[in-house]
Amino acid sequence: EVQLQASGGGLVQAGGSLRLSCAASGSTFDGYVVGWFRQAPGKEREGVSCISNSDGSIYYVDSVKGRFTISSDNAKNTVYLQMNSLKPEDTAVYYCAAKFWPTAQAVGAPSEYDYWGQGTQVTVSS
């Protein structure tokens, strides 16, 4: 079983940057797609980006393309989400999650993911 620990959130001004980390324990990310989701108050949880540990494929939703970068450090069993040019609408609790799947063609629905981190708050002030 994979345990996930998300960290790196905080308060930042619009235009600023944050790097989120998702560290795995109990298992490696081998064979998994790791996704980042976010949930703003009163809104549904939405997928932001994902990366496949199997084939290296990556996916971003349109709203973060060119601003967010997802990466994986297999030696550290950690997936990162570098967030640049942050906007107030990026404010949300960010979660990482993992599903056993070979490729990252889309983030998919939260229900597809088997393991979740605890969430980290990202607040972007205008």
Model pLDDT for residues 6-47, shown as the tens digit of each residue = 999 999 999 999 999 999 998 889 999 999 999 999 999 999
**55-110 per-position pLDDT tens digit:** 999 999 999 999 999 999 999 999 999 999 999 999 999 999 999 999 999 999 99
**What pLDDT is attached to residue 10?**
98
Please compute, for residue 19, the number of CA atoms within 13 A of its CA located in the half-sphere on the CB side. 10
Structure tokens at 58: 């990556």
Total residues belonging to the chain: 126
- How distant, in Å, are the alpha carbons of 8, 33, 37, 95, 110 from that of 44? 22, 21, 10, 13, 10
- How distant, in Å, are the alpha carbons of 42, 44, 53, 71, 101 from that of 80? 26, 23, 13, 5, 19
Dihedral sign computed on CA atoms, order 72, 116, 59, 21: negative
Where does the pLDDT of residue 1 fall: very low under 50, low under 70, confident under 90, or very high at 90 and above?
confident
**What pLDDT is attached to residue 44?**
97
Higher pLDDT pick, 21 / 2: 21
